[in-house]
Amino acid sequence: MIKGNFIDNLPKVYGIYTGGFLAFIIIMAIGEQMGMSAKAIGIAFVAFTVAIYAIIGYLSRTAQADAYYVAGRQVPTVFNGMATAADWMSGASFVAMAGGIYFKGYGYMALLVGWTGGYVLVASLLAPYLRKFGCYTVPDFIGTRYGGNLSRFLAVVVLTVASFTYVTAQINATGTIASVALDIPFQYAVYVGLVSILLCSMLGGMRGVTWTQVAQYIVLIIAYLLPVFWISNKMGAGFFPHFMLADEVARIADLEAQFGLGTVTNSAADLATVPKGLAGITKAHSAVNATPWAFISLALAMMMGTASLPHVMMRYFTTPSVKAARKSVGWSLFFIFLLYSSAPMLATLSKLSLIDPNLATGIIGKSISEVQAIDWYQNWNQANLMFVSDFNGNGTLELNEFFMGGKAVVLATPEIAGLPYVISGLVAAGGMAAAMSTADGLILAIANALSHDLYYKIIDPKAETAKRLVVARVLLVVIGFAGATIAAMEIQGILGSVIWAFDFAMSGLFFPLVLGVWWKRANREGAIAGMALGLASGMGYLIWVRNGGSGFLGITQLTFGIFGSAVSLVSMVVVSLITSEPDAATQKMVDEVRVPAGKSILGKH
């Protein structure tokens, strides 16, 4: 099936797939009307979608290095855009982002700007040039451009640190969703998530991951947009929320003032009774509540991190040409934009559903006992994601007496707004798709770097293709299990570790990558210093701040990459300049990278 003219048939194949998925949703909706239980619907959604991904993964199996590492370099622009969007949007984007906006407002929306603006850097500074290079992995570029095993090895180290930090968070997210949807303990659910992830990538490598990611994008975007449009309509806010929610945003500001946001606060003793991880609304919804530097530094760190994350960069190695790589970045961001521009709308609709006393769903101002009797409140309270308490003893729920977990904003809003349960099942499948697709990209990035760069290029350059691919697959499984084991320990939250991954990547890789293309004078010694000192100083800063260090220049543990990359830049430039310039062959190679036409530097495409 996935042979020959498969590429030409892509629109038809995914068109049928999308139709089939919509039909499945309708069947579930009918099932719900006929008395199918909520639990059965949840299980059906997750099992059905995961089975489809596994089938795609199996059909994409391959024994060729080109197909395994870069999907044969024949993924069309638009489809690569969808795959990148799924690769990019993780559990953090899908499950946590709207929640973050709900609680923190403007200060948090720096992530929206940062996680999209980075693609301008990807398109203009890196992707087309790395595509021309014709490498299999990001360390492949570093190792060839700068030469020597040490530079290649350091790139592998930075990649592994950043991607591994990221992947534990994604396996955690798949585990959370699998445990809720399948009703099994989290410790086992992470391994269920892991097996689903490996099913997609084990046999087909990048080819399998590419075609499952396209399928996952379709599921996750339907799962995100359908509830937003539905709730907006139901609330009477307008059929196209993105253009029509200005009144609702203004209404929230009025209600915030009316309910005494910022003036009525909770005592420390009261807050101590709130379960860990839950938060109340303490920040204004749309007002500017962060200093310019706090906003800009976070956005900047995320943008530079975007342009350094290997699992994103390697998606552009799969396009047929340099030209296609550039356009594909545009399509990627377009598909990401569809979800990101909806996240603030979802946060607005969710908040208004909860706090507007004029809406049937509003709970603020109702009596505490009445709220505690609501079905969805009981469910989510039991899941430790919702909590109310009558702090002032007046029997009525006040704005400062309602607490919710960040994940609940996306996962619980359909229920709160009174949508049928089938939508909640759909949202679970979407969250699963988002987390799985990112985890797949990340595990593959690490395994490929270790098998191609560490094993094949450094340890055993004579290894045959078959042996290399066996090593790649073994590593894939080992890394997956290591990630799942750490995820099962639940050391840190989803969002925090994702942001750290960006900071690690930018600390070690941003300048060695960019200067490799844009500065001919950059040499091996400089790149080694840039990667080693950048990563070390970024990590050092993080450890210092985590252990009570005060930090400087307003750089926090979420933006330590700004410090790391500054050290990286300075050390790379200084060391490059005091050592000899790269040899003529390397300079000629850089010249060739800058021209789209002609053969790639490595290999035949």
Partner 1 sequence: MSKQAQHWEKTRGLLMVTLAIWFVFSIGIFLFGAEMESVGGPFGYPLTYWFTCQGSLGIFVILIFWFANRQEKIDEEFGFSEKGDD
Residue ranges that bind partner 1, judged by CB under 8 A: 76-77, 106, 109-110, 112-114, 116-117, 119-121, 123-125, 128, 242-247, 249-250, 286-288, 290, 292, 295-296, 299-300, 303, 319-324, 326-327, 329-330, 333-334, 337, 340-341, 344-345, 591, 594-597
Neighbours of 267 (CB within 10 A): 8
Q: Chain-centre distance of CA 489, in angstroms?
A: 21
CB of 545 to partner 1, least distance (A): 23
By beta-carbon proximity to partner 1, the closer residue of 14 and 106 is: 106
Contacts of residue 602, Cβ cutoff 8 Å, sequence gap at least 6: 133, 134, 135, 140, 144
CB of 588 to partner 1, least distance (A): 11
Question: Residue 563: CA atoms inside 13 Å, Cβ hemisphere, count?
Answer: 20
CB of 484 to partner 1, least distance (A): 33
CB of 254 to partner 1, least distance (A): 13
By beta-carbon proximity to partner 1, the closer residue of 302 and 446 is: 302
What residues pair up with 386 in beta bridges, in sequence order? 404
Signed CA dihedral, 49, 51, 54, 60: sign only: negative
- How far apart CA 112 and CA 117 sit, in angstroms, is 8
By beta-carbon proximity to partner 1, the closer residue of 44 and 555 is: 555
Sheet containing 386-388, strands listed edge to edge, beginning at the edge strand earlier in sequence: 278-279, 402-405, 386-388
CB of 354 to partner 1, least distance (A): 20
Torsion on CA atoms 439, 445, 448, 454, rounded to nearest 10: -120
Q: With beta carbons less than 8 A apart as the criterion, state whether 330 and 143 touch.
A: no
Q: With beta carbons less than 8 A apart as the criterion, state whether 104 and 445 touch.
A: no
Cα R_g (the chain), whole angstroms: 24
Q: With beta carbons less than 8 A apart as the criterion, state whether 173 and 90 touch.
A: yes
By beta-carbon proximity to partner 1, the closer residue of 340 and 380 is: 340
By beta-carbon proximity to partner 1, the closer residue of 110 and 567 is: 110
By beta-carbon proximity to partner 1, the closer residue of 334 and 544 is: 334
CB of 478 to partner 1, least distance (A): 37
By beta-carbon proximity to partner 1, the closer residue of 95 and 111 is: 111
CB of 323 to partner 1, least distance (A): 6
Question: Residue 280: CA atoms inside 13 Å, Cβ hemisphere, count?
Answer: 24
By beta-carbon proximity to partner 1, the closer residue of 18 and 286 is: 286
Q: With beta carbons less than 8 A apart as the criterion, state whether 581 and 114 touch.
A: no
Signed CA dihedral, 560, 563, 568, 571: sign only: negative
CB of 104 to partner 1, least distance (A): 12
CB of 339 to partner 1, least distance (A): 10
What residues pair up with 279 in beta bridges, in sequence order? 404
Position of tokens 């949508």? 419
Neighbours of 15 (CB within 10 A): 12
- How far apart CA 362 and CA 462 sit, in angstroms, is 67
CB of 121 to partner 1, least distance (A): 7
By beta-carbon proximity to partner 1, the closer residue of 82 and 388 is: 82
By beta-carbon proximity to partner 1, the closer residue of 300 and 386 is: 300
Q: With beta carbons less than 8 A apart as the criterion, state whether 544 and 536 touch.
A: no
